[in-house]
Amino acid sequence: MVHPDRPRHLLPTYLKGQWMENVANVVTLMRVAITPLLVVFMVMSNSHPGYRWVALAVFMFGAFTDFADGQIARRTDTISRFGIIVDPLADRLFIGATIIALYSMRIIPLLFLIVVLGRDVLMAAGYPFIGKIDPDKVAVHWSGKVATATLFGALTLLIMSTPTAFGAGLYGFSGSRAGFSGFPFTSPGGHWAQFLGLWLFIAGMVWSLYSAGIYVKRALAAVAEEKAQGSADDGADAPA
């Protein structure tokens, strides 16, 4: 809908901005839409190892959408409140689903799952508060982007991990469900993709925890500032 107060000579630029904003948001939502497809192909690769390449293609497309939506929004100056809030949530869903699938396939240990998903739950719990404050005060920090990029790299390698043949038509991994036994942390033993992916994942977890601390600090400061501003406004409105 065209805004009635906007001068007619500005309408083409305005409508272009609205269209590009929608494009960026659609790209973000595409990442959400392909998440179930990624999980299905990863699970199928347990019995048919060739499907891990299909899963890898889907995952890399999802990683590309994470880069593309931000570039579209920044280059066209169409950063929106919807994008600021939904983009990191889409990342958390996409990465979280991948990590759960990798754990169920015994490619990563339980602690990796707990650390990353625990961080994501903490971040998601703060979004109701973020919606009430200026989104610029809790905009994406560079450390969060580094964490996401590092985890994307680690997950790419882990999806490429070559399963062990346990018998005719039986493939899988031998990692422990609760501990660290069975994972190639010290020696790849022919599983180079998993070996490198696990160590890169550790680096991603460190960055994730660091960025989470920054976001929590920013959010608490913004909430305190909003409360202080509200108190000041109430005092100004009070009768003399």
Contact between residue 163 and residue 97 where contact means Cβ atoms under 8 Å apart: no
Q: Other CB atoms closer than 10 Å to residue 51's CB: what's the count?
A: 16
Q: Is the pLDDT of residue 135 over 60?
A: no
Q: What is the average pLDDT across 198-220?
A: 88
Residues 216, 123: Cα–Cα separation, whole Å? 8
- Residue with the bigger pLDDT between 226 and 43: it is 43
Torsion of CA 155, 160, 163, 169, to 10 degrees: 120
At 168, the pLDDT band (50, 70, 90 cuts) reads low
Domain membership of residue 171 (yes or no) is yes
Of 94-98, 142-146, 168-172, the least confident:
168-172
| DSSP assigned state of 102 | H
| DSSP assigned state of 166 | E
12-17 long-range CB contacts below 8 Å, 24 or more apart? Answer: 16/76, 17/76, 17/77, 17/78
Domain membership of residue 144 (yes or no) is yes
Domain membership of residue 69 (yes or no) is yes
Q: What is the average pLDDT across 192-219?
A: 89
Domain membership of residue 31 (yes or no) is yes
CATH of the domain at 30: 1.20.120
Q: Other CB atoms closer than 10 Å to residue 38's CB: what's the count?
A: 23
Domain count, the chain: 1
